[in-house]
Structure 1
């Protein structure tokens, strides 16, 4: 399920954020949850096989009412501003929507906001092929070893087979968390870019100088319908709860075409 939030800015005539602002958007999401549930989700989440922790939500980049303005190390948004959050977990969505509408003021960095509107949508994968656009970059990576045995992070591009392989493996893990009583559907998931995807490099916060490399654009996703639905609801690839891999359905392939 997908929630579309519209916020007005109460503190000034524009919303101002540093360019490295992923941590602020993530904090906004957690602050809209009930405190105990936010603590559970942030520290523990949904645990896969005792070691992998999933939060099972994703969110888009922030959208302003028109083009953003870059000024030195800051990004300026013309209000109202919009944010999309997706999740397959009803408790997450219900708390986000209820609290956003009931809070008087919501802080985002040094900005004070209030929620004007929350619109719920239920995009559905109707078959075994969908077309989608990214609302935040898709990230797939591995931690590898350098010659001196130190770690480094390698980010895959859509041209590399590991990109699609990781997307499929990640969706299977999410499926097993969301529907543990069901068998994983047969058939792999394949992802294919439509046109040339854009490399999108971001930094989580000003204190973290490690670049996160993702890919934005339009893509085609083929595979079992239930896994495609998880992609729409929980996000694609890694680091979803840090603001990566949020996607929007463009179309379902019609059978017989």
Structure 2
């Protein structure tokens, strides 16, 4: 996206990006995803996600804002191919796109698809933080949330897989076997990759970094399209094959 002037946003800007994305979705699809979604028992999945904004930026510690200088890249992903195509058309035809009341111009759209290797192993990088957690009640009856780290491999990996199964079965109607289907191994994840995001008053812990993802190619393609872990529709868990991304410092 080309910026008419520097784009200044609060550091915690996920809700603003989410609002922008819903505004560029086709109206019917946006209403369905926002109000209804794909239901699995008590859970609801939107089956889309988006990246953090990528571009030259400056952080203002005093005001807790981030300013992007001239252009930014935003990646939106979904298994709903028709949604992506209609959204691209909407964006190209729109002349009044705004993020947080600031005008932006779409300079170009790039459709990215990728091939999963036949051996079912692919190296990925998180372009928005992956989050998985469990909730429980304290002794005083209050609800608490525990966020897991990639180094908690048994639990972190299991929750990623469990979440994938629910999304896949909800979307396809196909029952998956009770066996290991998806593997996730941290390859390059440090404390610098920890991201704490505030979304509508709730603090959410997630992790960037690089990982090795393994499983059946069709499962991995689905998983990368809908994003890993939880809270995807607020901009969490989007990962891309490492070989289509710029090198990491």
Instruction: Flag whether TM exceeds 0.5 (same fold).
Output: yes
2:211 to 219, 228, 231: 219
Alignment of 1:124-139 (within 5 A): 124-126=115-117, 127-139=119-131
Partner of 2:19: 27
Would you say 1:79 and 2:70 are equivalent positions? yes
2:65, 2:216 → 1: CA distance? 42
CA-CA distance at 1:185 after TM superposition: 8.8
2:59 to 58, 64, 70: 70
TM-score of the aligned structures, taking structure 1 as reference length: 0.87
Kept in 2: contact 1:57–1:87 (CA 8 A):
yes
CA-CA distance at 1:105 after TM superposition: 1.4
Instruction: Determine helix, strand or coil for the equivalent of 2:109.
Output: strand
Would you say 1:95 and 2:86 are equivalent positions? yes
Partner of 2:110: 119
Consecutive unaligned residues of structure 1, counting only runs of 5 or more, are 1-6, 253-257
The CA deviation string for residues 227-253 of structure 1, in whole angstroms up to 9 with x for no partner, is 21122111000011000000010259x
The CA deviation string for residues 158-179 of structure 1, in whole angstroms up to 9 with x for no partner, is 1222211110011111211332
Number of equivalences:
238
Partner of 1:40: 32
1:250, 1:123 → 2: CA distance? 11
TM-score of the aligned structures, taking structure 2 as reference length: 0.90
Consecutive unaligned residues of structure 2, counting only runs of 5 or more, are 245-249
Would you say 1:8 and 2:12 are equivalent positions? no
Pairwise CA RMSD: 1.8
CA-CA distance at 1:94 after TM superposition: 1.4
Partner of 1:3: none
Partner of 1:173: 166
Greater shift, 52-61 or 125-134, is seen at 125-134
2:135 to 133, 136, 143: 143
1:251, 1:98 → 2: CA distance? 27
The verdict on how the C-alpha distance between 1:231 and 1:175 changes in structure 2, with shifts beyond 3 A counting, is same
Alignment of 1:201-212 (within 5 A): 201-205=196-200, 208=201, 210-212=202-204
Partner of 2:247: none
Kept in 2: contact 1:123–1:232 (CA 8 A):
no
CA-CA distance at 1:91 after TM superposition: 2.3
Kept in 1: contact 2:26–2:83 (CA 8 A):
no
1:45, 1:217 → 2: CA distance? 29
Instruction: Determine helix, strand or coil for the equivalent of 1:83.
Output: coil
The verdict on how the C-alpha distance between 1:115 and 1:184 changes in structure 2, with shifts beyond 3 A counting, is farther
Greater shift, 32-41 or 187-196, is seen at 187-196
Would you say 1:56 and 2:56 are equivalent positions? no
CA-CA distance at 1:42 after TM superposition: 0.6
Kept in 1: contact 2:3–2:103 (CA 8 A):
yes
